[in-house]
Amino acid sequence: MSRFFRLDGEGYREKLAGWLRALLEREIVDAVLSPQWTTSGRMVVPTLVRDPRRLTTPDPVAPVVSVSAATLAARLTFNQPQERAAVLLRSCEVRALVELEKLEQADLGRLLLVGVDCLGTVKPAAFAECASDEEIHQAWWQRGTRGEWPLETVEPRSACDICLYPAPGGVDLRLAWIGCPELLVESVSPRGEQAMASLELEEVPEPSPRAQLLGQLAADRRQRRERTLEEFRARHGQVDHLMEMLAPCIRCYNCRRACPLCYCHECVFEGPIFRHPSQHLHRWAARRGIIEMPTDTLLFHLTRLNHMGSSCVSCGMCEAACPSQLPVSLLFAAVGETIQQIFDYEPGRDREEELPLATFREEELEPR
Amino acid sequence: MDWVAVEREEGQSPGDFEPRIVALLCNWCSYTGADLAGTSRIQYPPNIRVIRVMCSGSVDPMYILKAILEGADGVLIGGCHAGDCHYINGNYKARRRVAIARRVLDQLGLDGRRVWFRFISASEGRLFAETVREMVAQLKEIGPNPMRDRWEL
């Protein structure tokens, strides 16, 4: 059962900062992980705040993600911390964090998960170009709350364009603004209820357009996602196109570093078996007459698809990190979805669901 | 990882196509089964190059993909029968990994039918030979792996 609360304060900034400060001051949590504007006022970056006075410019609505907060939140749970932290996460970040928990690389026990409504984000470079704090928020409260992409000069990242989850599920609290007249906090779990209990905020009914608007958005997005992935599959379902698409890969491994779910601490591709002696390169080149350099780029992407495709949450951080601008997020979304279908698995959907690659059934997948 | 000789025979017509298969066989069951086929003098096509692994569950999909990208026409992974794995459940995990590898290959136009996973026990020399025969026949129908001629890897 969800309950909505109105926050104290004048504008969006005061309401949000006031509420986060209260969480720290009332010792409901020891720390807050939230995006904040930098001092220059030109970029929004993730911050870990313990001193409530330093919560001056929190802004989880500003449409930019430099690094998946799932990775950061997981790091906050490393080595059995005593501290409790409230972590502000977009839907893709919540789902990635749930997958990390299943991989035993995150412990949600001492985290208060605060989901944030999200209509999509842009890359940091595009964000720095696009707007000031005021302009963004004006657009947000005029168009964003109606479910329309609010920025005129820049499009959302391709992964966001086909995201099915504008409002994150599986959280304790939700910062709701889609279909809301102002920023509201929605409590959706017992832990969330408990966190809100001592704050004595005014409870309000769910804003009437919200549920319908979210439903409409999800339906539109699903249609767009299916169409986009279908087009992508039709094009890249042929080897020629696949190779053409991945040809500019420079094997920088940025995609695997940016991926919140590439879980190996040391990637096999960065280890000694891919540091080929020159004799090997010459032998391979002699055999075919020609090889592409650097080697193993196609093998790298296909292997990553095999390792991670079942857990890919379609956050698109891989694509944002790619210097060659390869459409890797669409590749993972398109192929990942068909892998997940084998096991009727949806990454991040349910904390109790087992990872497809960590379990098995006695009888399945026959005939082989 | 120079597994698959991909030098092309000159003047080969499609009818003469002899598929090359890389087989990754588990030490305890399928490899011993292949050995039994040999010691029992059961005939099977010579299209297969066997690599012994300790468990089918130790086969990272990377090795399957490497073989396919290097031009192998087929990859056979052999493991113990259900319930017989010497490492408790490696064969079940292998079955899932192979299902994913096949799906990935299918999605990208590389034909997942080139990758086979079979349970073959140490006493099943005959089944091993039969499996190789079947696989060679199917690969002949599918035709040569187009990756053999590609260098943009």
| Best of B87, B100, B106, B135 to mutate (most A CBs within 10 Å, chain A) | B100
Query: Are A357 and B101 inside 8 Å of each other by CB?
Result: no
All residues of chain B having their beta carbon less than 8 Å from the beta carbon of residue A361 are 92
**pLDDT band per the 50, 70, 90 thresholds, residue A314:** very high
CA-nearest of A172, A106, A69, A101 to A354 is: A101
Q: How far apart are CA A33 and CA A16, in angstroms?
A: 13
**pLDDT band per the 50, 70, 90 thresholds, residue B1:** very low
* Partner-chain residue, chosen from A292, A306, A356, that has the shortest CB–CB distance to B104: A306
Average pLDDT over residues A235-251: 89
Which pLDDT score, from 0 to 100, does residue B13 have?
57
The domain tally of chain A equals 2
All residues of chain A having their beta carbon less than 8 Å from the beta carbon of residue B81 are none
Chain A, nearest residue to B108 by Cα = A237
Exposure string for A174-196, b = 16+ CB within 10 A, e = fewer = bbbbbbbebbbbbbbbebbeebb
Query: Are A362 and B61 inside 8 Å of each other by CB?
Result: no
Among A195, A224, A253, the domain-final residue is: A224
pLDDT digits (tens, 9 = 90+) for B98-140: 999 999 999 999 999 999 999 999 999 999 999 999 999 999 9
Clarify whether residues A211 and A345 are in a common domain: no
**pLDDT band per the 50, 70, 90 thresholds, residue A131:** low
Among A206, A224, A242, the domain-final residue is: A224
* Partner-chain residue, chosen from B83, B99, B104, that has the shortest CB–CB distance to A365: B99
Chain B, nearest residue to A230 by Cα = B107
Query: Are B107 and A237 inside 8 Å of each other by CB?
Result: yes
Q: What predicted TM-score, i.e. pTM, was given to this entire model?
A: 0.93
Answer whether residue A367 shows pLDDT above 80.
no
Chain B, nearest residue to A236 by Cα = B108
Residues 6+ apart with CB under 8 A from A182: A6, A7, A12, A15
Clarify whether residues A87 and A164 are in a common domain: yes
Cα A248 to Cα A70, A363, B62: the distances in Å are 29, 42, 21
List residues bridging with A45 in a β-sheet. A36
Place of tokens 């944030």: A116
Query: Are B117 and A368 inside 8 Å of each other by CB?
Result: yes
Answer whether residue B5 shows pLDDT above 70.
no
Answer whether residue A258 shows pLDDT above 80.
yes
Answer whether residue B8 shows pLDDT above 60.
no
Average pLDDT over residues A40-50: 94
Q: How far apart are CA A195 and CA A172, in angstroms?
A: 9
Q: Does residue A165 lie in a domain region?
A: yes
| Best of A241, A302, A339, A344 to mutate (most B CBs within 10 Å, chain B) | A302
Clarify whether residues A182 and A111 are in a common domain: yes
Which pLDDT score, from 0 to 100, does residue A87 have?
98
> Chain B closest CA to A360's CA: distance in Å?
6
pLDDT digits (tens, 9 = 90+) for A288-310: 899 999 999 999 999 999 999 99
Clarify whether residues A298 and A201 are in a common domain: no
A276 CB-contact burial (10 Å; exposed 0-12 / middle 13-18 / buried 19+):
middle
Clarify whether residues A163 and A183 are in a common domain: yes
Q: Which of the listed CATH numbers 3.10.100.10, 3.40.50.970, 3.40.50.960, 3.30.70.2860 matches domain B19-143?
A: 3.40.50.960
Among A174, A194, A224, the domain-final residue is: A224
Structural domain harbouring A341: 231-358
Q: Does residue A365 lie in a domain region?
A: no
* Partner-chain residue, chosen from A242, A284, A303, that has the shortest CB–CB distance to B109: A242
